Structure 1
Amino acid sequence: MTDLIGTQTPTRRITGPEEAIAALERAVPGLADHRRSEPAVLDWALLEDGLGTRLPAGYKRLAERYPTFALGDFLLVSLPEPGEEHYRLRGIRDDLGGVIQSWWDADMSIGLRPHPAPGGLLPWGESNEGDKFLWRVTEENPQQWPVTIASRDLAWWHYEGGAVQFLAEYCNGTLEPWALPPVDPEVTPC
């Protein structure tokens, strides 16, 4: 049975992309070693048009600065690569039509449907153990989208901050990693 554990709210929600990335870089000291020498130019229009929604500025800025990376050999932060945005779009669509739709069909999604349904789930990361890290597309402003964690143990929870802030607080131990193991803030580019 799928359970909603609860909701965690940060002391202060970070909405500025630069501030969120700085918090992540403090929480994961080795991350800055993998920063691109120049920000990547990505075709955000292809991704956003293909998904039917804008994406959060923090995620976009993270992708412009960093390639896809893993944290602690556990959590994969999936980011588009220049010229390969269509592959990331296809991966997101596969998740939406595959596992996330399967959760809905099997009544295992705590009532949350895949995007583009109102309040739908949109994936941005996953663990090597089957956990999914998603946005809940709750409103027009993507900077306000909360994060939903779908644990492999069928325990779900919400975080009322953005994805980059979630990563920072997960790595620095500020939030309680309900149904997740603590993560080693070691970064590996993928």
Structure 2
Amino acid sequence: MRRTAPAGIDWAQAEAGLGTGLPSDYKLLAETYPPLVFADFLAVGFPPAGREKAWAEDPDDLEIIAEWCEDAETATPLYPFPAPGGLLPWATSFQGDYFLWTTNETGPDTWTVTVASRNGVWWHYTAGAVQFMADLVSGSLQPWALPPVRPTVRAVEPN
């Protein structure tokens, strides 16, 4: 499942297309593993080598996040990226949930995770995406409005 050589993703092109850097743990994961699926629930994708610009400029998820932010009944207003503190998707579930980075001006390695459940529940995790995945799969994280995730992981071969 682990790559035998780094993926060769042009991170400068992906980040230029997004208009922001990305967390170093996510980039290391992407270089080391192909896209992953955890327990047939959580799908984590990465920029495909050679198609980084198209990956970064795909607006579909951000449009959905913008709608969800408008409808969110939270104490603090939520906004999609590129707004300051905006939410940037990094994974989805097969049930329609979104896993987002809560961006900040300090930089990508300090971003935390926000979960947007398809049933309208929002919650925050005070660490990064890779730690979130590890805690979710290990069972040490209370999944709130998500189903429990069994510790099975499979790599998804790119098309």
TM-score, normalised on structure 2? 0.91
Q: CA deviation at 1:109?
A: 6.6
Gapped regions of structure 1 (runs ≥ 5)? 1-33
Which of 55, 72, 76 aligns to 1:108? It is 72
SS of aligned partner of 2:134:
helix
Give, as a single letter, the amino acid of the residue that structure 2 aligns with 1:108: A
SS in 2 for 1:158: strand
Within 2, Cα distance between the matches of 1:63 and 1:117? 25
**C-alpha distance in 2, partners of 1:139/1:174?**
29
Partner of residue 101, structure 2: 135
Give the Å deviation of 1:84: 2.2
Are residues 1:75 and 2:49 paired? Answer: no
Q: CA deviation at 1:114?
A: 0.7
Q: Are residue 43 (structure 1) and residue 10 (structure 2) matched?
A: yes
Which structure shows the bigger proportion of residues in helix conformation?
Answer: 1
Aligned to 1:56: 23
- Separation of aligned partners in 2, 1:170 and 1:130: 17
Gaps of 5+ in 2: none
Post-superposition Cα deviations, 1:7-64, rounded to whole Å, max 9, x if no partner, equal: xxxxxxxxxxxxxxxxxxxxxxxxxxx1100112111111111111110000000000
CA distance in 2, matches of 1:138, 1:159: 14
Residue identity over aligned pairs, in percent, reads: 52
What's the offset of the Cα at 1:90?
3.4
Q: Is the 8 A contact 2:18 2:57 kept in 1?
A: no
Aligned length in residues: 154
Residue by residue, what CA displacement relative to the aligned partner does 1:116-165 show, whole Å, maximum 9, x if unpaired? 10100000000000110000102232111010000111111000000000
Higher relative CO (Cα under 8 Å, sequence separation at least 6) belongs to 1
- The two structures have a TM-score, normalised by structure 1, of 0.77
Q: CA RMSD in A?
A: 1.3
| 1:148 is the counterpart of 2:114 | yes
3-state SS in 1 of match to 2:20: coil
Opposite residue 36 of structure 1, the aligned amino acid is R
1:86-125 to 2 correspondences below 5 Å: 86-91=53-58, 93-96=59-62, 98-105=63-70, 107-108=71-72, 110=74, 111-125=77-91
In the alignment, is the contact (CA less than 8 A) between 1:42 and 1:85 conserved in 2?
Answer: yes
Aligned positions of 1:157-176 closer than 5 A: 157-176=123-142
AA at the equivalent of 2:69: W
Name the SS of the counterpart of 2:43 in structure 1: strand
Distance in 2, Cα, partners of 1:150 & 1:163: 14
Give the secondary structure class of the aligned counterpart of 1:180.
coil
